[in-house]
Amino acid sequence: MNTYDRIVRTTCPYCGVGCQLDLNIKDNSIISAIAPGNIAPNYGRLCVKGRFGTDFTHHKSRLKKPLIRKDLDVLPRIPCGIDGFREAEWEEALELAADRISNTYLKKGSSAFGTFCCAKATNEDNYLFQKFVRSVLKTNNIDHCARLCHAASVAGLQKALGSAAMSNSIGEMKDLELFIVTGSNTTETHPVISTFLREAVVKNGAKLIVIDPRKIELTGFAYLHLQQKPGTDVAVYQAMAHVIIKENLCNRDFIGKRTEGFQKYSETLDEFTPQWAEKISGVAAEKIIEAARLYAKAESAAIYWGMGISQSVHGTDNTLSIANLALMCGHLGRPGTGVNPLRGQNNVQGCSDSGGLPGVYPGYQNVSDPASKVKFEQVWNCELKDSAGLTTLEMSDAVGKGLISDFIIMGENPLMSEPDLNKAQKHFSELKNLIILDIFLNETGEYADIIFPAASFAEKEGTFTNSDRRVQLIRKAFDPPGEARADWEIINELAKRVERKTSQSPSSGFEFSSASDIWDEMADLVPAFSGISHKRIEKESGVHWPCPDKQHPGTPYLFADNFPRGKGLFNALTLRVESESTSTQYPYILSTGRVLYHWHGGTMTRRSVLDEICPEALLEMHPSDALKEGLSDNQMIRVSSPRGEISLKLKISDRSPEGVLFIPIHFAEASVNKLTNDLRDPEAKIPDYKICSVQVSSESD
């Protein structure tokens, strides 16, 4: 038996649950991982990714030396593998990167830069990255993949409540009374959370209502399944609101004390009858009525959602329709009672908290608010821009228009994750300068000029903030491979050089010697973090923000007494039908999503033992559609949309309804985002990943 020589407690690098993980280390290698006892948020539970999937850290293709593109400045750039690069010393690569950045800065100015920070990196990495971008490059063009996942949840909840995070903690789940899961395939995307939800149903007698176009595994535990047609969420939720008002089931006391705009909103609901919603959504009116009654009459009720709500051309409206329901029933501000967007990445909450967004400094302090601007200018010792920068896809557009020539990307893989990839690839091939920090050479790295090898989660210190706002530590288990360095160390070096080369007076803002020091600077600037330090997390294992001072215990559930915007705001909605519609040429709706064994762009999981059990993308198609098309299981299928085509194997399944296909997002060789559409929600700027029109044919035809 292979016994380990030490154990390192850390936080899982995969989804937003933020499981605490004990890595068993032998000879500087992870040989197994176990869940530490009774500690939040996972209380001794893990899923396959956390337990077995951290082996990517030892993969042979980890980057160990800085890489410089061999055919530098040949445009349009052609994607290349590792052979297209030469290894370089750190000094040469840093100097070259700083020179190229400085040249652009001096010749074209700040607006020529686009930057992506990283939801997989630590709060400290992200804080320092956005500080570099804002204070040295002098632009707010910074965003990350939150734009592509929960941007609409954030926009909607900000509007309705003034805060955009899960309002309940994971620890409250097992005691739920009634809950709705919508647009979240929780057993595959947040596996450990799903165990608590199932526990609530099986052991606590909680009632689960699933509102989702797919027959996901959780429907097997559900009291009701409302299987709406893709894109008709607003119809279902508005009709539930209609029923609640008509049957006088709303919480008048809560509405009176804690909300505004109810009268005006309720007057808009007349036409949204359950019968009308049935015609739009395909969900029987009686089911909508029953769901509305159950939700409204419950003593405590929580709503959980994922990408099915947010990744939509009307994602903000979807979120608002949920917020309206919660507000009218007073289902907010108590344990097990609230609104909960389940965050998809280990630190997507933290990356946003740390200022990785174009419109806000760390702690969601608006860049256009003069007081915030002055505060950050004083501490960062520089001048800052007061207008919001561009969002992820707006930056991609700006590259296409020649407005952005330089991109700096920390750990993200936009050429897997952006919609309409063929267009995105074209944009990236026209960049003048692309600098990347990453642990692997991924699909975006293939376009890079310079790649800095970064340390993985197991090779550095820092914090991740999970989906329920719990700030937790990651700890260094062994040294990074070769000459790889922590992202924050790379940024330290790069920022100082660019400052010097652009003749900016040195801010001495990039002299950090530990992640803990970086956290302390951020905590001084963000009131919600003031009571949190690495030392305190070490002692308590994790702290939920907001935590305004050292004596404050942290906040597991939000909105007990008030909402950050004051009163909760009702928002009138209309049914918008703006997604790409099917046609005789493209008769199927395609939805994208995730599977249990992989994660996002697959940079990590495809280089893990996880890939052995799930090595390829499968097209999920309803049996009657397969029959109609004359297709059989395991056959190679060509799927095409007006934007591109891919080939993959068919898996016949009644999980998705007739006329709706499903393809996972993780597989570069069948990259589904070649098919998806760049239509965006007007407020959140999130693309319509869950709906585009496609046709299918047998590969052999």
With respect to another protein, which residue has the nearer C-beta, 214 or 287? 214
The three-state secondary structure class of 696 is strand
27 binds another protein (CB under 8 A): no
Q: Which of 613, 623, 632, 682 binds another protein (CB under 8 A)?
A: 613
From the list 32-40, 98-106, 165-173, 566-574, the region that binds another protein by CB under 8 A is: 32-40
Q: Of the ranges 264-272, 276-284, 356-364, 608-616, which one interacts with another protein (CB under 8 A)? A: 608-616
- Which CB sits closer to another protein, 100 or 198? 198
Parallel, antiparallel or unpaired: strands 588-593 and 692-698? antiparallel
51 vs 565 by CB, closer to another protein: 51
- Minimum Å gap between C-beta 199 and another protein is 7
- Beta pairing partners, 50: none
- φ and ψ at residue 206, rounded to 5 degrees: -70, 150
124 or 172: CB nearest another protein: 172
Least Cβ distance, residue 666 to another protein (angstroms): 17
CA distance 437 to 267: 52
Our CB check for another protein shows the closer of 235 and 596 to be 596
Question: Which are the contacts of 176, defined by CB distance < 8 A and separation ≥ 6?
Answer: 197, 200, 204, 206, 300, 302, 336
Minimal distance in Å, beta carbon 317 to another protein?
34
User: What does the radius of gyration of the chain's CA atoms come to, in whole angstroms?
Assistant: 24
Return the number of the residue (52 or 90) whose C-beta is nearest another protein. Answer: 52
Nearest distance in Å: CB 221, another protein: 8
Answer for which of 12, 15, 35, 244 binds another protein (CB under 8 A) is 35
Q: Which of residues 158-217 bind another protein (CB under 8 A)?
A: 187, 191, 195, 198-199, 202-203
| Burial 626-650, CB ≥16 within 10 A → b, else e | beebebeeebebbbbbebbebebeb
Closest distance of CB 264 from another protein, Å: 44
Please answer whether residues 668 and 441 qualify as being in contact, where contact means their C-beta atoms are separated by less than 8 angstroms.
no
Query: Closest by alpha carbon to 458, among 53, 186, 17?
Result: 53
Which range touches another protein (CB under 8 A), out of 29-37, 414-422, 505-513, 648-656? 29-37
Name which of residues 417 to 436 contact another protein (CB under 8 A).
none
**Does position 3 bind another protein by CB under 8 A?**
yes
Could you give the strand order of the β-sheet that contains 543-544, starting from the edge strand earlier in sequence? 462-465, 470-474, 543-544
Min dist CB 16 to another protein, Å, is 17
CB of 46 to another protein, least distance (A): 6
Please name which of 541, 536, 483, 535 lies closest in space to residue 514, comparing C-alpha atoms: 535
**Separation CA 13–CA 20 (nearest Å):** 10
> Per-residue contact track with another protein, 588 to 607, x per CB under 8 A?
--------x-----------
Number of residues engaging another protein in binding (CB under 8 A): 31
Residue 39 interacts with another protein (CB under 8 A)? Answer: no
Nearer to another protein, 2 or 505 (CB): 2
* Nearer Cβ to another protein (202/627): 202
> Which of 595/694 has CB closer to another protein?
595
Report in angstroms how near the CB of residue 26 gets to another protein at its nearest: 9
Minimum distance of another protein from residue 597's CB (angstroms): 8
Nearer to another protein, 16 or 230 (CB): 16
Single out the residue of 10, 11, 24, 251 in contact with another protein (rule: CB under 8 A).
24
Nearer to another protein, 32 or 640 (CB): 32
Residue 112: name the closest of 493, 439, 431 by CA: 431
Q: Tell the burial category of 224 from Cβ atoms under 10 Å away from its Cβ (0-12, 13-18, 19+).
A: middle
- Which is closer to another protein, CB of 409 or CB of 458? 458
Q: What is the closest distance, in whole angstroms, from the C-beta atom of residue 618 to another protein in the complex?
A: 14
For another protein, the closer of residues 163 and 187 by Cβ is 187
Integer Cα distance of 281 and 438 in angstroms: 43
Task: State yes or no: residue 612 binds another protein (CB under 8 A).
Answer: yes
Q: Which of 609, 645, 649, 668 binds another protein (CB under 8 A)?
A: 609
Q: Distance of alpha carbon 38 from its chain centroid, rounded? A: 27
Question: Residue 500 contacts by C-beta under 8 Å, 6 or more apart in sequence?
Answer: 98, 506
Closest distance to another protein from the beta carbon of 601 (Å) = 21
Tokens 């750190």 belong to residue: 90
What b-and-e string marks burial along 253-267, b requiring 16 or more CB atoms within 10 Å of the CB? ebbeebbebbeebbe
Please state the φ and ψ torsions of residue 539, each to the nearest 5 degrees.
Answer: -75, -40
Rule CB under 8 A: which of 40-69 touch another protein? Answer: 44-48, 51-52, 55
- Which CB sits closer to another protein, 199 or 377? 199
Tell me which long-range contacts 27-31 makes (C-beta under 8 A, separation of at least 24). Answer: 28/477, 28/478, 28/479, 29/58, 29/478, 30/54, 30/55, 30/57, 30/58, 30/458, 30/477, 31/2, 31/4
Q: Does 664 help bind another protein (rule: CB under 8 A)?
A: no
3-state secondary structure of 93: helix
Give the DSSP letter of residue 496.
H
* Binding track over 214-243 against another protein, x by CB under 8 A: -------x----------------------
Residues in the chain, overall count = 701
Q: How, if at all, do strands 406-410 and 692-698 pair?
A: unpaired
* Strand extents, DSSP E, 521-635: 543-544, 568-569, 588-593, 618-621
DSSP 680: B
CB of 92 to another protein, least distance (A): 38
The least distance separating another protein from the CB of residue 5, rounded to whole angstroms, comes to: 13
User: Which positions ≥6 away from 72 have C-beta within 8 Å?
Assistant: 449
As measured in angstroms, the least distance from the Cβ of 631 to another protein is 23
C-alpha to C-alpha distances, 548 to 245, 353, 526, 552, nearest whole angstrom: 38, 15, 9, 6
Q: Which of 235, 215, 223 is nearest to 180 (CA)?
A: 223
Query: Measured from the CB of residue 155, what is the shortest distance to another protein in angstroms?
Result: 33
Residue whose token pair is 């508005």:
238
DSSP label at residue 363: T
Pairing of strands 142-143, 178-182: unpaired
CB of 197 to another protein, least distance (A): 9
CB of 21 to another protein, least distance (A): 12
Pairing between β-strand 20-26 and β-strand 29-34 as defined by DSSP bridges: antiparallel
Supply the minimum distance, in Å, between the C-beta of residue 473 and another protein.
Answer: 21
Q: Binding string, 547-586, against another protein, x = CB under 8 A?
A: ----------------------------------------
Q: Select 577 or 613, whichever has its Cβ closest to another protein.
A: 613
CB nearer to another protein: give 129 or 179: 179
How far does Cα 245 stand from its chain's mean position? Answer: 34
Tokens for 210? 């699933």
Binding site for another protein (CB under 8 A): 1-4, 24, 31-32, 34-35, 37-38, 44-48, 51-52, 55, 187, 191, 195, 198-199, 202-203, 221, 596, 609, 612-613
